[in-house]
Amino acid sequence: MTLDVWLSLFVICLLGAMSPGPSLAMVTKHTLAGGRGNGLATSWAHALGIGFYAFITVTGLAVLLHKSEFLFVMISLAGAAYLGYLGWKSLNSRGGIAEKLKTGEAVGPLTAAKEGLMISLLSPKIALFFIALFSQFVAVGESVSAKMVVVATPLLVDGIWYSIITFLLSSPILLERLRARGKLIDQISGVVLILLAVRVVWQNVGYFQG
């Protein structure tokens, strides 16, 4: 896998992690209610769930590519539509990323980790996102090392991003700066996601022209 291909993968994974939703709310809840330790436990348990999803998705799409190229292309285009939808939602976000932050009751680190893992494993949006994401990269390399990189990247990006969120929430000054720039973060994410959706469509146009 070349550096530019990996950078594309990294950017999509980062935008996926940054997208406001139940995962952000869960990490935030346990950080604000239970402290930094609970936040980190939630973050990395969530990342393990992401890694599991990444593994089964990249394996399944690789099998599908060998069995039915047409179906693979259709799934890729559906994934592009989903990326475009996420981009549109980000561009039209009213509150910004910091508006999604919520508080909750404190629990122990083990419970926090369990909830972080389950919210990643049980989210249909994450499954859709990975289909959209990996349809671009499954055909890049057949080697075991390439597949390991594709799986490890979203796991590490997710864990590190939510760890950063945990530390930001431990610092009131940094949290206020994040809130002030929340709308801008959403808008930038929206533009990039839409551009990535266009890229997926462009990559699959050749199938119909052939």
Taking the C-alpha atoms of 116, 127, 143 and 146 in order, what is their torsion angle to the nearest 10 degrees? -50
More confident: 132 or 51? 51
Whether the pTM exceeds 0.85: the reply is no
For residue 9, is pLDDT > 50?
A: yes
**pLDDT attached to residue 176:** 65
Residue 19 has pLDDT above 80, yes or no: no
- Residue 154 is predicted with a pLDDT of 92
To the nearest 10°, the Cα dihedral for 36, 167, 152, 133?
120
The stretch 192-207 carries a mean pLDDT of: 76
Q: Quick one: pLDDT at residue 174? A: 67
pLDDT band at 153 (very low <50, low <70, confident <90, very high): very high
Residue given tokens 């890229």 in the structure block: 199
- The answer to whether 139 and 8 have CB atoms below 8 angstroms apart is no
Q: Using an 8 Å Cβ cutoff, are 120 and 126 in contact?
A: yes
- 103 pLDDT band (50/70/90 cuts)? very low
- DSSP-derived letter for residue 156 is H
Is the confidence at residue 131, as pLDDT, over 90? no
**CA 58 to CA 9: how far, in whole Å?**
13
The percentage of the chain sitting over the pLDDT mark of 90, rounded to a whole number, equals 13
106 — pLDDT class (breaks 50, 70, 90): low
Report the C-alpha gap between 87 and 183 in whole angstroms.
Answer: 13
